[in-house]
Chains A and B, each alone.
Chain A
């Protein structure tokens, strides 16, 4: 009987790619790939801990990239969805890719392919939302600060966008859910973790961290937002569809003043 294996990796994308490498190399029957933080042993499968190795990860990345440029993007985006069981779905997807002579990434009538492409699309949407909904607040030490709570782990995806847009100001975007942030210090973007004493929502209470001018501009923006609305065209359903309620607490224009 062929025993099945559960691979345990460190939760990083490179760790995941290393696991894929090992699975292919050992020709193992992989029953699951799990993050070490959430791992649950299957009753009848042995487990193997994967140590992230950049060269192995890179070979898998290049291999997929050679097969299909759009597939590599879909795989990375879908991975960041943190969808339960995403690793084993991606493993099956990658196996299918390598087993086929043609690119399967556009075979939308295949359930697995469609699922991956849909997950990737949701993550893409969240990336775009964060590019829109980040609201920087200027701290007294001249850092434009925003905390966010995205549905998916999109910080790695939005870094480049903010880097090219805000090249001449220091900024920090912090993901409260995942407890890490990206900080741009006028030279490069770094990953940081913080001891955040407070979550900075659009509360009407002022925080001592921010400048007075900051609150003046929030006030102006809040006013602008109201003035630009046409009352005779009111359509709250559409408003909520575009700006889902769960994001409101970080939007200064939605502050209740």
Chain B
């Protein structure tokens, strides 16, 4: 008993370590209810059960089935030519770990990926087998995220979606030319083929569901992908235009951005020890949010004149400073979509303002109580007060004032970066 636990522990260490560069931890958006008095329910919002010391959410048991791989992608820690310890779980071992972690309220479910052994289909078949076993034998209604193995057949992708809540295939390298350079064994179509299949299956499921209520669920939490940031010479514009393409073409629920952590000495890539571009990653996520929830178009934020995001201010503030002709905005009159464009206002504040202003005209005091970040917002709004002296200020001056009077969490980083120039 304890001997086999020691072996499992060893495998878990290797295969969790190898899986951690996949940043997705989402466990929300599914509709899987526990109607059968079985184990688990994924109908609510996802829960982060813990956070690692690097501050990332731990919501799923995120492991590889194996880190044996026949491919040699330069950016990947599991690539064939890398000298690392290899291990492989048996299907039942993954099932047991998932169930026992879930029963103790450690996790929301399983995120299973794998190195590619023998062939894409052979690998995908085993991932599907784990999910199938959890659903059919263990009556498990927790969350399952399966990786789509690039090059896997349509038949397997169809089956995968019957058991998984989410499917994802990581594009990793945002441009096709760089992909050829860094992942010579993989073709761009290998990535997009499973994406297309999943998209079409979801569309079909949704239309059939309207007619036949009992149509089996297909990947109810949709699909996602991930791009590495800072491994090649790509611009923020390259990344976000590419992301926009995947959101649109394949109906992605999410695109994740993963600051490249150097894992090998390779002349094509940043050297080991190079700092992880965490600030840049953060700015990309902020941009992603502005596109999905704040009504911005990607070309407003990134274009040939501005191919890269500002590092010292957030992308909304950056946009506002370049477009002072739209401001100031009257907090007591403006539409929701206009309020959403004011720096320092999140969507929660926007909703609160719209609710609260039905009762009385809002002044600075009200806005402060509601939780608006006035240190940024005050330069862009008027409210029920005569005190707003910022009418004629230039963007550059406002930026200076904001930076002077605030402390950002990355301030240290970009003051260093600024000194370089």
Cβ contact of B12, chosen from A114, A223, A233, A241, cutoff 8 A: A223
Question: A219–B9 contact, CB under 8 A?
Answer: yes
Choose among A109, A131, A167, A238 the residue that contacts B47 (Cβ–Cβ < 8 A).
A131
Q: Check: A98 CB closer than 8 A to any chain B CB.
A: no
Residues of B within 8 A of A241 (CB): 55
| Shortest Cβ gap from A137 to chain B (Å) | 7
**Which of A1-9, A30-38, A196-204, A224-232 contacts its partner?**
A224-232
Cβ-closest chain B residue relative to A133: B49
**Whole-angstrom CA separation of A135 from B40 in the bound complex:** 15
Contact A236 to B51, CB < 8 A, known contacts A109-B370, A216-B5 = no
Contact B101–A217 (Cβ < 8 Å): yes
Among the stretches A49-57, A60-68, A158-166, the one at the interface with B is: A158-166
CB of A106 within 8 Å of the partner chain = yes
Find out whether the CB atom of B54 lies under 8 angstroms from the CB atom of A134.
Answer: no
- Whether a CB of chain A sits under 8 angstroms from the CB of B44 is yes
Task: Assess whether A108 is in contact with B44, with CB atoms less than 8 Å apart.
Answer: no
**B54 & A234 in contact (Cβ 8 Å cutoff):** yes
Q: Report whether over half of chain A's contact residues are helix, strand or loop; otherwise say mixed.
A: helix
| A243-B54 CB under 8 A given contacts A220-B9, A227-B20 | no
- The smallest beta-carbon distance between A216 and chain B, in angstroms, is 5
Encoded as 1 (CB less than 8 Å from any A CB) or 0, chain B from 53 to 76 comes to: 111111001100000000000000
> Would A242 and B48 count as touching, CB distance under 8 A?
yes
Smallest Cβ-Cβ distance to B18: which chain A residue? A227
Contact B49 A108 (CB under 8 A): no
- Please classify how large the interface on chain A is, using the bins under 10, 10 to 19, 20 to 34, 35 or more: 35 or more
- The reply to whether B47 and A128 form a contact with Cβ atoms under 8 Å apart is yes
**Beyond A132-B47, A220-B101, 20 additional pairs, beta carbon < 8 A:** A106-B352, A107-B359, A108-B356, A109-B360, A109-B366, A133-B49, A133-B50, A138-B104, A164-B33, A167-B37, A213-B1, A216-B5, A220-B9, A224-B61, A227-B12, A229-B53, A232-B261, A239-B51, A242-B51, A251-B50
Which residue numbers of A lie inside 8 Å of B, CB to CB? Answer: 104, 106-111, 114, 128, 131-138, 144, 146, 161, 164-169, 212-213, 216-217, 219-221, 223-225, 227-239, 241-243, 251-253
Chain B interface residues (CB < 8 Å from chain A): 1-2, 5, 8-9, 12-13, 16-17, 19-21, 33-34, 37-41, 44, 47-58, 61-62, 97, 100-101, 103-106, 139, 259, 261, 275-276, 278, 352, 355-356, 358-360, 362, 366, 369-370
Q: List 10 A-B contacts (CB under 8 A).
A: A107-B355, A109-B356, A109-B370, A165-B39, A165-B40, A168-B37, A225-B50, A230-B56, A233-B55, A242-B55
